[in-house]
Chains A and B, each alone.
Chain A
Amino acid sequence: MTETPMREPTFLVLTALAEEPRHGYAVIEDVAGMTGGRVRLRAGTLYAALDRLRAEGLIEVDREEIVQSRLRRYYRLTGAGEQSLAVETARLRAQAAIAERRLRARHTRLGGATA
């Protein structure tokens, strides 16, 4: 049996942190940017994910800053987080490849018609 598939917000948060350590609002912005605005994480969802990922050892606190009297806590990916993201990426890639192959076969079978 394989690992339980990651939920999309989790995958996107880990992807955002894979580039560099980011604080909460920067993660929201990055996720919105990389999904073309399709996914805009809300604070409740984001911190539920961050808390769980911290608890699971997939991310950790990088540093804290105070900007305009507000706390900014930067998070970074841990080794385990990098590994989890790599595993999930490979799983998604494999599934996408199967879907692509079947779509191509269907296209060929239908003589080029897609519908």
Chain B
Amino acid sequence: MTSLERRYRRLLRIYPAAHRAAYEEEMIGVLMSGAAPGRRLPGPADAFDLVRAGLTVRFGRAFHTTGGTGWRDVAAVTGLFAALLLAGAGINRLITGIELWGRGDPLRLHGVDGLMLLDPAMRSVIWSLAVAAAVLGLRRVTVVLALTGVLVQAVAVGLWSVPMNELAMVWGFGIAIAAAALFAAAVPGRWIRPVLGGRGVALAVAGAVLAVATRASALDGVWAGERFSGRFFDTGEFLQDWLPTLALAAAAWAAGPWLRGRILVVSAALWTAAMVLQDVPGLVFVATHGDLDSRDAVSRIVVLLLAPVVVLGGGLAVLAVRERLAGQGHGQVKRHE
């Protein structure tokens, strides 16, 4: 090893260990290739550049890891998935409402006929617009629409909790806050299309369209009546629930190896939170009405509320181990001259 190489290696110590493991040998190769023959000291410009870049890697990159990727990218994609979930839930409920209305149910709420349709109609519109804005790359518009969606979800909670005396809509409010926060966090980053690519965005849109199309067949009896005897879609559980989910998973897969793991973890935590927040209000209702021992109820509620945290923490731990192992793998220099 020459004195120049030794000095370059000493300068490279300014980088974090994981970065050195991944790139040190390669960088030494580049630095030595660019050095004039007989040179013994690093050039001042090279030395300054290494110190600056090393400090930036060490202290200035809160959203990147050596082998990993930006959390803002993950926030953009999971924000889209959360908005799709909320749009799907709104459209699903709207379709059910229209179906019931078609059968003669007045859908009366607070003494007003048809008022029950107002909440799902508002949710369908606002979250569909948020999804469209997100896919079109209108970042600030998406954030504004998501924040409006939070207000709409809050109205939905109030609308249903007063007559029904329960908080069944709390899950939507919680996921709406998460969606708005994710979109806001993603604004300075790359956004959805560069992260997922055209194919990934197409898959995500296909998932959403599939979800609506398979559910919309329930309207056959309302709109089409006797005119259409055959059904284009089978509204079985697979088509209705799993195919759209698979399409979204395929969209996440298109984001590349480092992103997809993080998208999976954050989406799984979001999905678990949505499930938990659907169950907790019911459990609280049952407990407060004396049908369940209060200590038992509290312990169940605590376990449920911890579930998303466990999913997120466990997933992140697995990813951290995977990235550390991959970083070590990148650092291995193949000695096969």
Over the window 218-240 of chain B, the binary record of Cβ atoms lying under 8 Å from chain A Cβ atoms (1 yes, 0 no) is: 00000000000000000000000
The SS class assigned to the B binding surface is: helix
Across-interface contacts of A50 in B (CB, < 8 A): 23
B337 x A71 contact (CB < 8 A): no
Interface presence of A101 (CB below 8 A): no
Tell me which of A3, A44, A57, A78 contacts B191 (CB under 8 A). A3
A44 to B11, CA, bound (A): 11
A38 beta carbon closer than 8 Å to chain B = no
Which residue of the partner chain B has the closest CB to A1? B139
Do A57 and B334 have beta carbons less than 8 Å apart?
Answer: no
Nearest B residue to A60, CB-CB: B256
Q: Which residues of A contact B57 (CB under 8 A)?
A: 48, 51
Binary interface encoding of chain A residues 37-69 relative to chain B, with 1 for a CB under 8 A from any of its CBs, else 0: 000001111111011100111000000101011
Q: Are A43 and B49 in touch, CB under 8 angstroms?
A: yes
- B34 close to A (CB within 8 Å): yes
Residues of A within 8 A of B336 (CB): 66
Question: Interface 1/0s, chain A 76-95, versus B by CB < 8 A?
Answer: 00111001100100000000
Instruction: Please give the number of chain B residues whose Cβ is less than 8 angstroms from any Cβ of chain A in the complex.
Output: 53
CB closest chain-B residue, reference A81: B194
CA distance A78 to B69 in the complex (A): 15
In contact, A24 and B54 (Cβ under 8 angstroms): no
- Are A51 and B29 interface neighbours, CB within 8 A? no
Q: Is there an interface contact between A43 and B140, defined as CB atoms closer than 8 Å?
A: no
Query: Is B188 part of the contact surface with A, judged by Cβ < 8 Å?
Result: yes
Interface residues of B in 24-44 (CB under 8 A from A): 25-34
Q: Which of B115-141 contact A (CB under 8 A)?
A: 137-141
B residues adjacent to A (C-beta < 8 A): 19, 22-23, 25-34, 45-46, 49-54, 56-57, 64-70, 73, 137-141, 188, 190-191, 194-195, 197-199, 255-256, 258-259, 333-337
26 inter-chain pairs at a CB distance below 8 angstroms, sorted by A residue, are A1-B137, A4-B190, A24-B29, A25-B33, A43-B46, A43-B50, A44-B51, A45-B53, A47-B30, A48-B53, A51-B19, A51-B23, A55-B66, A55-B67, A55-B68, A55-B70, A56-B194, A57-B69, A57-B195, A68-B337, A69-B337, A70-B29, A78-B256, A80-B194, A83-B194, A83-B198
